[in-house]
């Protein structure tokens, strides 16, 4: 498709953003400070930046009885790979939720797309739960939960979302844990229209997060801290002569990168706690969502 065709003008900023980002990423790593790429969104007085001896800048979110805090990326994209390193609240994190998610700017509820990774805290010595969800056009109900195979509060781990016209892949340290395919051709909703930012937040959710809400946040342990660093975003690069990735066929083999099917299968066999697609009882009235049924 020629760059001047009508459909290519629908997302003109994507190409510009891709160009700017490529230019930024060519700079030496030490200059890519986190505060250049993200900004506080709420609870600004509970957000701080620290640069370590290695020159890498870390953002700390804090939560106390008054409130939590959240940040967002300055850039937003239609189709990109987002990576960020995260170290979660240590010891007694019961009641806390630490998040990484992709979200659009304020849109009407029926236009809201969202790709969520939420880490539900626990009492000391008990494991975190990773809660994931995907909203398209305001509708979520696509929860999958995982038990992590490491202590996410001990070290930084890399959490990623690859979002391209073929699929959405969630990854941990490069290992895929969840794939949501673009099957729009058979009526499965898939986000293609709205630019998404990466947000991160730390907040109190002790009404539901830990052991179903039975365990409350222990405020004598506050303030709680979660740490983020090494945010990278790689916008999808359109093929030559095409204005945006969305103009290309979703099944184009070049979008099929980064998916190690054997690794995905292994992680899911060993670490999946809950999958809405297996919850027949929940969907007994209307049947399982379309993406859960083979075609
Ligand atoms: C967690 O507990 C360990 C061992 O008691 C302690 O050294 C560490 O400072 C605690 N971390 C936080 C964030 O409270
Ligand atoms: C917390 O620990 C309990 C006991 O091991 C476990 O059942 C639960 O799934 C864990 N996670 C959350 C978020 O409650
Ligand atoms: C809350 O934390 C304090 C300080 O560590 C501890 O003494 C107390 O037992 C904790 N409360 C609960 C309900 O776990």
Instruction: Please state the rounded mean pLDDT for residues 253-268.
Output: 92
Segments forming the whole domain that contains residue 98: 34-292
Domain assignment present for residue 71? The answer is yes
What atom in ligand 1 is closest to the CA of residue 225? 13
- Across the chain, which distance is largest between two alpha carbons, in Å? 61
pLDDT surpasses 90 at 295 = no
Cα 24 to ligand 2 centre (Å): 41
Could you tell me if residue 29 is inside a domain? no
Predicted local confidence at residue 44, as pLDDT = 98
pLDDT at 77 over 80: yes
Reply yes or no on whether the pLDDT at 255 is more than 70.
yes
In a domain, 6, yes or no: no
Segment 39-57 mean pLDDT: 95
Reported as a single tens digit per residue, the pLDDT across 283-292 is 999 999 999 9
User: Per-residue pLDDT for 20 more than 50?
Assistant: no
- Does ligand 3 lie within 6 Å of residue 220's CB atom? yes
* 197 part of a folded domain: yes
Provide, for the chain, the percentages of residues in helix, strand and coil under a 3-state DSSP scheme, each rounded to the nearest 5. Answer: 20, 35, 45
Average pLDDT, the chain: 90
pLDDT over 90 percentage in the chain: 85
17/24 Cα distance (integer angstroms): 10
pLDDT at 28 over 50: no
- Ligand closest to CA 206: 2
Residue 275: what pLDDT?
98
Residue with CA closest to ligand 1 atom 11: 90
pLDDT at 7 over 60: no
Which CATH number characterizes residue 193's domain? 2.60.120.200
What is the pLDDT at residue 16? 37
Strand 57-63 with 47-51, pairing: antiparallel
To test ligand 2's pocket by mutation, which of 129, 131, 207, 209 has the most ligand atoms within 8 angstroms of CB?
A: 129
pTM for this predicted structure? 0.89
State which ligand 2 atom lies nearest to the alpha carbon of 215: 14
For ligand 1, pick from 63, 87, 91, 155 the residue to mutate: most ligand atoms within 8 Å of CB. 91
Question: Which ligand is located closest to the Cα atom of residue 223?
Answer: 1
Examine residue 20 and state whether it is found in any structural domain, yes or no. Answer: no
Q: Is residue 9 in some structural domain?
A: no
Which active-site residues does the annotation give? 114, 118
Quote the pLDDT of residue 277: 97
| Domain contains 27 | no
Which pLDDT score, from 0 to 100, does residue 33 have?
Answer: 81
Q: Is a pLDDT exceeding 70 seen at residue 22?
A: no
Please report whether residue 196 resides in a domain.
Answer: yes
| β-strands 144-147, 224-235 pairing | unpaired
Atom of ligand 3 nearest to the CA of 94: 14
Question: Residue holding tokens 């699929």?
Answer: 167
Q: What's the number of domains the chain is made of?
A: 1
pLDDT at 106: 86
Output the pLDDT for position 24.
44
- Asked if pLDDT for residue 65 goes beyond 60, the answer is yes
């Amino acid at each position: 498709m020629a760059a001047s065709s009508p459909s290519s003008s629908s997302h003109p900023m994507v190409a510009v953003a891709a160009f700017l980002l490529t230019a930024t990423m060519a700079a030496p790593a030490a200059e890519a400070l986190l505060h250049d790429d993200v900004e506080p969104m709420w609870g600004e007085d509970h957000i701080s930046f620290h640069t370590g001896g290695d020159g890498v800048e870390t953002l700390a979110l804090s939560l106390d009885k008054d409130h939590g805090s959240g940040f967002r990326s300055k850039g937003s994209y239609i189709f990109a790979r987002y990576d960020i390193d995260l170290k979660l609240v240590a010891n007694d994190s019961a009641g806390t939720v630490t998040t990484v998610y992709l979200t659009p700017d304020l849109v009407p509820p029926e236009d809201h797309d969202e790709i969520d990774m939420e880490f539900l805290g626990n009492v000391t010595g008990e494991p975190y739960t990773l809660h994931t969800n995907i909203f398209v056009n305001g509708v979520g109900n696509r929860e999958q939960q995982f038990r992590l195979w490491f202590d996410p509060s001990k070290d930084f781990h890399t959490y990623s979302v690859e979002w391209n016209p073929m699929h959405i892949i969630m990854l941990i340290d490069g290992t895929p844990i969840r794939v949501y395919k673009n099957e729009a051709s058979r009526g499965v909703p898939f986000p293609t229209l709205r630019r998404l930012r990466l947000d991160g937040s730390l907040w109190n959710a002790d009404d539901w997060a830990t052991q179903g809400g039975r365990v409350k946040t222990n405020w004598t342990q506050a303030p709680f801290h979660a740490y983020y660093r090494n945010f990278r975003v790689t916008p999808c690069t359109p093929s030559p002569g095409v204005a945006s990735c969305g103009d290309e066929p979703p099944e184009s083999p070049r979008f099929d990168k980064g998916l190690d099917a054997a690794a995905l299968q292994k992680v899911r066999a060993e670490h999946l706690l809950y999958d809405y697609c297996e919850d027949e009882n929940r969907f007994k009235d209307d049947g399982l969502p379309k993406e859960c049924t083979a075609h």
